[in-house]
Structure 1
Amino acid sequence: MMANLFSTFDPSTNHSLSLNWFSTTIVFFMMPTLFWLAPCRWTQAWLLLTFQVHKEFKILIKTSKYSGSTLIFSTLLIFIMINNFMGLFPYVFTCSSHLNFSLYLSIPLWLSFMIFGWIVNTTHMLAHLVPQGAPSMLLPFLVLIETISNIIRPGTLAIRLTANMIAGHLLITLLSSSGPHLSFFLCNILITTQILLLILESAVAIIQSYVFSILATLYSSEAN
């Protein structure tokens, strides 16, 4: 029995052993192995998804010198997307609804971009702080605003992913908790609503992983 509504997002709430965070490793078990000469359909679907994501990020990373970095962002998108989908299954812990999960992804990426940009492309990073054609009287304020916006980027990435994932799960939990007290007709309406919400959450799981990885790619292109 849940103590409160948010106990479904508590990593320590389970019956015997605290293995909830172990659900993040499910993605590694879902990756197909390339042992066979003729790949199976699951392997072909996985390779097709990887190639399509690679083409998407290749457009954003315009410099051919860093074209290999698309593998990092493709892996990031697939990793977040599968973890988002895992949270839609019953009794599976939703890792992406926690700031711990999101911050551990966004902060290292942002730090690596900033360190690389300020060491290798210092002039380019300084030029980013001042928009072209800005009046000289507003330059100190613009530099301050751009600096603050750069600092809060990992937080906005993490909060966006966490808030969007936890909102849908809370709505589904709220609606499902009222099921035993409804009549047969209203229960059928509730089940239909839950199915529609699950479809919506599936779309949100894909969109949020795409937004997270696309924004990380755009932040990296600014440092190059």
Structure 2
Amino acid sequence: LVYDLFTSADFCYSNFYFLNLIVWFLGLIWIFWSINLYFFSGSRANSFFSFLLNWHYDNVGSYFLNKIKGSYILISGAFLIILGSNIWGLFPYIFGITTQMVLTFSISLVIWLCIVISSLEYSIVGFLSHLTPQGAPEYLASTLNMIEVISNIIRPLTLALRLSINITTGHVFVSLMGTSGAICLFSLKIFWLFFMFLMAGYLLFEVGICFIQGFVFSLLSVQYLGEHV
């Protein structure tokens, strides 16, 4: 049976599948921790997560997050779940769940719907006024209005595609380098040690990419939140 490079993104059940569920439980713990710091009071986990979430809150735009009460719990929970899932998917024999559009689209759709429903509930007129650019000529108003509606609707799709494609690309490169490393081990033993250092460096790079992708996802979500009426 011949496998291609995208086999790593295919779903398969194994004895290690239950490890993927740990990410979801960790995500729930992180959300509860965001609500009440009592659970990790005085521990090293409190210091680490306080630093991470404070840095995240300061960089994604604290002004926009104050527009909707409780919105930061939703954004930070999505950020931590995506970050944990991205890093978890780099481990051997563990399915990279963020490579699947089912997950990424579900998260982005929930965030987008929360923003849209909250805006409509607050002011329907104010929400619709954002669909027409200020100062647009009358003969272009209908066309620009349609373009804005389409661009607004496809936002959850673009968020999901950006995350899934970038993570899938990273997994493909990891699989390619792993295959090349196995070939070097049996044929080019002199260069095997050098290749292992190269592989370790690339894995550290992928960990950084996992963090960046989670941050970009939450940053774009907050930018959409900035258009809340």
Report the TM range for the smaller structure's normalisation: 0.7 to 0.9
Equivalent of 1:47 in 20, 45, 50? 50
1 CA distance for matches of 2:40 and 2:72? Answer: 26
1 CA distance for matches of 2:39 and 2:221? Answer: 33
Change (3 A) 1:71 1:56: farther
Code of the residue aligned with 2:152 in structure 1: it is N
- Asked if 1:207 is matched to 2:212, the reply is yes
Equivalent of 1:145 in 144, 147, 151? 147
SS at match of 1:113: helix
The residue number in structure 2 matching 1:127 is 129
- Contact 1:58–1:70 (CA<8 Å) still a contact in 2? no
- Asked if 1:12 is matched to 2:17, the reply is no
- TM (normalized to structure 2)? 0.83
- TM (normalized to structure 1)? 0.85
Question: Where do 1:14-33 residues align within 5 Å?
Answer: 14=14, 16=15, 19=18, 21-25=20-24, 27-28=26-27
Q: Which moved more, 1:39-48 or 1:27-36?
A: 27-36
Change (3 A) 1:21 1:35: closer
2 CA distance for matches of 1:215 and 1:94? Answer: 22
- Contact 1:7–1:13 (CA<8 Å) still a contact in 2? no
The runs of 5 or more residues in structure 1 that have no matched partner are none
2 CA distance for matches of 1:29 and 1:6? Answer: 30
The runs of 5 or more residues in structure 2 that have no matched partner are none
The residue number in structure 2 matching 1:97 is 99
2 CA distance for matches of 1:119 and 1:36? Answer: 36
Equivalent pairs counted in the alignment come to 221
1 CA distance for matches of 2:40 and 2:203? Answer: 35
- Contact 2:27–2:77 (CA<8 Å) still a contact in 1? no
Change (3 A) 1:65 1:103: closer
1 CA distance for matches of 2:57 and 2:40? Answer: 23
Note the C-alpha offset of 1:165.
Answer: 0.6
Identity rate, percent: 28
Higher RCO (Cα < 8 Å, 6 or more apart): 2
Note the C-alpha offset of 1:26.
Answer: 5.4
Code of the residue aligned with 2:23 in structure 1: it is T
- Structure 1, residues 32-86: CA drift from partner, whole Å, max 9, x if none? 884576x222332122222332333452416x45353222212221221111111
Q: Which moved more, 1:71-80 or 1:50-59?
A: 50-59
RMSD: 2.6
Q: Which moved more, 1:24-33 or 1:104-113?
A: 24-33
Code of the residue aligned with 1:207 in structure 2: it is I
1 CA distance for matches of 2:196 and 2:2? Answer: 21
SS at match of 1:201: helix
- Asked if 1:75 is matched to 2:104, the reply is no
